[in-house]
Structure 1
Amino acid sequence: MSDQPTIAALRMGNQFAFEAVFHAFHPKVYGYILQKTHSAYMAEEVVQLAFIKLWHYRESLDPEVSLSAQVFRVAKTTLIDQLRKEAVRSRLLTQGEAKGTAQSESPTENALKRLEEKELAERIQQVVRSMPGVRQRVFAMSRFKGMSYKEIADALSISVRTVENHIAQALKQLRHNIPFF
């Protein structure tokens, strides 16, 4: 089933289509956000903000992309925005209450950090999987298994210089595909 008619109706400002989308996706999006935050209050806030954003930016919805993917992308970016705001708010409160006292990270900061680390790890795995076979193996052996260049060269019957070249190319590919890598 195509989402194009629903997306077209949303883009034209059809409130009935929006209500249908809200009722169809609210439980799924709420569950996703609750799983990430472990806070019913924050999950409800984020879901409400996500659907407000979806309505506000409805004209930019892409009819060629599944509605589910677009709804969850809005929810995910809304969650990240809220976690950042909460982390800043928490940091400012901590600084104001205990000037000069070392404080541990708040649960919100921890959740944001875990989410960002997980997304980065997934993106790295995706880029590594797109590498040519030998480069992929060399990189995995070096970075994921902790093997030295010499050990990799011996295991694959290639020269250490070839291992170095594969690692250099892999890192170049990662930097090209992942900003700030």
Structure 2
Amino acid sequence: MIQEIITKDKFEKLFREEYPRLCAYANTFLKDIEASEDVVHDVLFKLWENRESVNIDTSIEAYLFRAIRNKCLNVIRHLQVKEDYKSHNQSVLEEEAIQSADVMEASELNQKIHQAINSLPDKRKEVFMMSRFEGLKYAEIAEKLSISIKTVENQMSSALKYLKTELSAFISILIFILL
């Protein structure tokens, strides 16, 4: 039982004699001198603080080494939880940054597409819009605009060629976004 070392003198002697060994033992787990010293201080302080109620079935040295080992394992678990949390937060931040960049690129691409469409000649733009945004077939467009199907085909071909040229710098971004 700990009652043998209740006195301040005996506890101080134990502290002086065991402190270096306990720190070295803690350091085998933590690989950090300062953290090891903190663990030893905590264990010894708790022992002194609870000296009246602590029951020790083995030797005081065995008790201290076991307490040091348990405290070190708790510190290691706590550090792992912190590291996992940090990694998780980093992943979330990176994903949000990527999504934000994707949204900005998509917005910029959308703006460029609209600018390119708006710069088409009026009839060509009208044919293109009816085909791509209203989903009309060439024959339906020709009938609505009272033009030949061949004219619709030519206007669409010219519109697509122009848009391809105007948007060529953004094709890789478009492919990336679509994939």
- Name the TM-score class by shorter chain: 0.3 to 0.5
Kindly name which structure, 1 or 2, has the bigger radius of gyration based on alpha carbons: 2
> Given the two structures, how large is their TM-score scaled by the length of structure 2?
0.46
Name the one with the larger helix percent: 2
